[in-house]
Structure 1
Amino acid sequence: MHEESPSFTLSWMRRSWSFVICLILLSGCGGGTPETAPLPPERPAKLFTVGGPLAQRTVRMSGEVRAATRADLAFRVPGLIIEFAVKEGQQVRKGQLIARLDSRDYQSRLRNALGQLAKAKAKLQYDTTEYRRYVKIRQAEPGAVSESLLNLKKAAMEMARAEVKSAEAAVAEAREQLAYTFLKAPFDGIVGRKYVDNFEFVVAKQPIVHLQNFSEIEILLDLPELMVMPLRKAKPKLYAQFATSDKRYPLTIKEFATQADPLTQTYRVVLATPAPQEIRILPGMTATVVIELPHDAALDTEIVIPTAALFSDPDGRSCVWVVDPETHQVHKRVVHTGRLTDSDRIEIVDGLKVDETIVVSGVSRLQEGMKVRPYKDAPKENAA
């Protein structure tokens, strides 16, 4: 019988013991309940409670400031500017000289017109004297002057009278044109802009300066369609706020367009208020218009959310993260969007309901089922 060598026996024993040790270690590791991976902590996020566009009865929109009284001033006759009496930003009074044209040509035209008027008057006087003389002769000797000759003298007198009227009109026009070489302020105001410089030749009706009066200001507001009816029917309180002041200034509706702009599909509203005395307001500045609607106003229920809440899924669909009110977990929801209602708000046509809560910050870092909590220092927004 063949005998195994001692080295083979030792090697086999070592492998056996190694196998036994591994079994023991594995059985020790398999004891007890397996631990699951911990869920990530709640992520702080900015939340938004879905409501209609006027859910809080207060809406803030941006508008552009302009002077209520304003005009581009122009000469009514062409000519060379020889005097510019104002500068940009200068305050002027009604009737104050703005600019003056070289008037020598217009003075010459007036002199010529006056000369033609004098000639026409002299001819009228002569023809009138002749007609009256022939009338007296006919009265003294009826056969001395024929009816046709008398009618001829009368026609000459009437023509001379017409020429006088025409010459008088020419003189009046020449005087007007001479007066038009002076451009004066039609109202108190500030020179907002100069369009030309001194010693430039200008044509009639070419803008020379822009004059504006800031005793009253207007704010131009472009309303989205869903805001038109609430503003027209609910008669809200309107205020203006400016960047340099926290004070509110009451507004009144001055004009309200009934036809939408073909490009923006918004409706232009002109609001007015007396110019604030404690701060300086200039044209082109931005004003915040605060619209406060009565609590009993009947409002539409369109849903508007911040555009920051939207993200696209792999299929290119618009989605939002909806927060479960009990578990605080987020769940993806596909929505159908409408038009932009403001620079950072968009209408939701389908997919959301009023009073649902969505995430409006860091949406790209969220995952299905992740828990969120609102910022401690930032209360929930609403569709105000």
Structure 2
Amino acid sequence: MRQLGLAIAAALLPFAAMSQELAIKPVKVITIEKSEQVLERHFFGKVVARQTVDLAFQVGGQVLMLDAIEGTDVAAGAVIAQLDLVPFELAEEQARLQKEQADRTVTRLTRLQGSSVSQVSVDDAQTAAGLAGIALRNAEDSLSKATLHAPFDAVVAARNVETFSTVSPGMPVVRLHDMSELRIEIDVPEILFQRAGEDPSVEITAQFPFSAKEYPLDVREFNAEASAIGQTYQLTFALQTPEDLRVLPGSSVTVRARLNEGRARTLVPPTALGVAADKSLYVVAFDAGEGDTGVARLIPVKAESTANGDFLITSGLDDGAVEILATGVDNVADGQTVRRFGGFPN
């Protein structure tokens, strides 16, 4: 009988050791260390052209040539549209002949001055010659204005008339976008607008929905008046036209603003902080032992809350990596043996 009891006791020893191991409290452990904190904000923006102009003839007439296909590029100085030049060429020729006639009259009267021609007649002839010269300049100017040239490298945004249509002076013919430098507009809350001016080390980039690449931005201007709704300010950034993308005005874009605060910070989740009886804060360090076991050690700390819900440890933790309990700090005593929680068995 005694031998039977010894055999049963020997068989139960492994289960007793297992029960003792299972009695050690499992804890979830995380590793924290100081790292430079980078603040990042995202804004949704819109691409606009550097400038947009509506080209129009300064004279009226019939459009005989219109080389403006919407969405195509045009080079600076290229002919975009032209009126019927015949009426303007005839008007210039007529003005030129009248000027030559007036000049001949002045020459003839000047030679005869003093004999049969009075000074008043000479003066009137000179005035008529001057008026004829002005008429010639007007005719030449009208002829030059009967042809529209692209003022800069541009994209044809819209065509407002068709060939053979008659236009009046000032009627928009085509709309052009200056794409030499893209502009991106975003609306920024007032508080962020004020802070942006305090720190010039903010890194600002743009990312388009159809590309993972980020492009650097430069601030060009801002609207000095806040919007009536939302109290936001409009910021305009410059983006050099990407060579690998076709970006048109109106495209959506995400603007990222990053600020590296330049100092190392230690952040912990709120569940890792415990509150002592005297209202002081502490964290529980995990001093590793054999295997997955370790000893819990309470460390008094001072902490401040952050905007994203974590807590910034201002004092109490040494530099370098430290393993602490992520949760359940109020249920662990100082010096208690605990084991690292490795997940539930399958």
Shorter-chain TM-score: which interval? 0.5 to 0.7
Does the 8 Å contact 1:91/1:190 carry over to 2? yes
Structure number, greater radius of gyration: 1
CA deviation string 1:181-225 (max 9, x = no partner) = 111212223222212222222222222112234342110122222
**CA distance in structure 2 between the aligned counterparts of 1:246 and 1:108, rounded to whole angstroms:** 59
**CA distance in structure 1 between the aligned counterparts of 2:97 and 2:44, rounded to whole angstroms:** 62
The answer for the alignment partner of 1:95 in structure 2 is 77
**CA distance in structure 1 between the aligned counterparts of 2:165 and 2:42, rounded to whole angstroms:** 46
| Structure 2 gaps, min length 5 | 1-36, 264-269, 273-304, 311-346
The answer for the alignment partner of 1:241 in structure 2 is 207
**CA distance in structure 1 between the aligned counterparts of 2:61 and 2:227, rounded to whole angstroms:** 39
The answer for the alignment partner of 2:169 in structure 1 is 204
- One-letter amino acid of the counterpart of residue 162, structure 1: T
Shift of the alpha carbon at 1:356? 8.2
**CA distance in structure 2 between the aligned counterparts of 1:293 and 1:91, rounded to whole angstroms:** 38
Q: 1:270 and 2:247 equivalent?
A: no
The answer for the alignment partner of 1:158 in structure 2 is 123
Shift of the alpha carbon at 1:229? 0.9
Shift of the alpha carbon at 1:355? 5.1
Q: 1:255 and 2:221 equivalent?
A: yes
CA 1:234/1:161 → structure 2, altered by over 3 Å: closer, same or farther? Answer: same
Q: Structure 2 length normalisation: TM-score?
A: 0.61
**CA distance in structure 2 between the aligned counterparts of 1:229 and 1:57, rounded to whole angstroms:** 16
From 81, 84, 93, the counterpart of 1:111: 93
From 50, 56, 62, the counterpart of 1:80: 62
**CA distance in structure 2 between the aligned counterparts of 1:218 and 1:356, rounded to whole angstroms:** 31
CA deviation string 1:227-263 (max 9, x = no partner) = 2111222222211111111111111111122122345
The answer for the alignment partner of 1:292 in structure 2 is 258
Q: 1:171 and 2:153 equivalent?
A: no
**CA distance in structure 2 between the aligned counterparts of 1:64 and 1:117, rounded to whole angstroms:** 56
Alignment RMSD? 2.9
In structure 2, the residue corresponding to 1:293 is in which secondary structure?
Answer: strand
Does the 8 Å contact 1:234/1:294 carry over to 2? no
Shift of the alpha carbon at 1:111? 2.8
From 136, 154, 157, the counterpart of 1:192: 157
CA deviation string 1:94-140 (max 9, x = no partner) = 22221111233323322332232123212211221122x44xxxxxx
The answer for the alignment partner of 2:279 in structure 1 is none
In structure 1, the residue corresponding to 2:49 is in which secondary structure?
Answer: strand
**CA distance in structure 2 between the aligned counterparts of 1:194 and 1:356, rounded to whole angstroms:** 50
Shift of the alpha carbon at 1:68? 2.1
Identity %: 29
Does the 8 Å contact 2:45/2:254 carry over to 1? yes
**CA distance in structure 1 between the aligned counterparts of 2:38 and 2:262, rounded to whole angstroms:** 12
**CA distance in structure 2 between the aligned counterparts of 1:223 and 1:70, rounded to whole angstroms:** 24
The answer for the alignment partner of 1:130 in structure 2 is 112
Give aligned pairs, total. 237
CA deviation string 1:59-112 (max 9, x = no partner) = 110111122254322211122212212311222222222111123332332233
| Structure 1 gaps, min length 5 | 1-54, 135-148, 298-323, 327-352, 359-384
Question: Is the strand fraction higher in 1 or 2?
Answer: 2
**CA distance in structure 1 between the aligned counterparts of 2:93 and 2:228, rounded to whole angstroms:** 54
- One-letter amino acid of the counterpart of residue 70, structure 2: E
